[in-house]
Amino acid sequence: MIIMERTDKSSFGILGGTFDPIHYGHLIAAEYARCEFNLTRVIFMPAARPPHKQLEYVLAEEHRYKMVELAIKNNPAFEVSSLEMDREGYSYTVDTIEYFLKNCPEQEIYFIMGADSLLFMDTWKEYERLATLCKFVVVTRPGYILDKSDKRLQHLPSGLWNNIRGLQIPGLDISSSDIRKRAAEGRPIKYLLPPGVEEYIDYHYLYREEGTGYDK
């Protein structure tokens, strides 16, 4: 009997972000990517100190990590990793992808990101090399369109487009910055993020006053 060898690799997703805090926009992006590309799991990867957010306050790592944990607990295909937080210094996507290429060589990687992030990809460390290392699921985000002919995308390496998979997801005009602002102003954040995360923010009085819960 001839047994057909399976050559198609299984795939998993990575959703990088600051998650300050995690919200339904992140969750729907991860879940749609998981279903569309048959991903065995999606790893949420909270960044330590994102290089492009050096000048802003970012909530302490423990809080951001815990909120991701709370948000994903009902989805067995979702995981959170502390890889970037455990690494010294800034978080770079290229280092993270290389870690998984080395440690999970049997699996294909789909890096998930919003259409807004693609606009800044040329500021990422070694983005030309990164573009060749994995697939990129670029999900729609209200206010941003994924248009290959967009002038702002012309400087991205042409090879990147072979690895990009555009994905239309239900538009949720939710951002962490807006949630932080609303919380600081004492306005409701209910229905923008999972109830467990909302309770966590309330309990720890996060985002309410300058400095609360932030790294010193």
Residue 153 DSSP symbol: G
Which sign does the torsion angle of CA 85, 89, 91, 94 carry? negative
| Cα–Cα distance measured from residue 35 to residue 46, given in angstroms and rounded to the nearest whole number | 22
Q: 76: cis peptide before it, omega within 30°?
A: no
Q: Which residue of 59, 141, 160, 189 would you call a contact of ligand ATP, by CB under 6 A? A: 141
Q: Which residue of 13, 14, 19, 134 would you call a contact of ligand ATP, by CB under 6 A? A: 19
Convert residues 95-134 into a mask of x (bound to ligand ATP by CB under 6 A) and - (unbound): ------------------xx-xx-----------------
Contact 79, 104 (CB under 8 A): no
Q: Which residue of 12, 13, 14, 20 would you call a contact of ligand ATP, by CB under 6 A? A: 20
Residue 168 as a binder of ligand ATP (CB under 6 A): the answer is no
Minimum CB distance to ligand ATP, residue 116 (Å):
5
Contact 44, 17 (CB under 8 A): yes
**Which residues contact ligand ATP (rule: CB under 6 A)?**
17-20, 25-26, 29, 113-114, 116-117, 139, 141, 172, 174-177
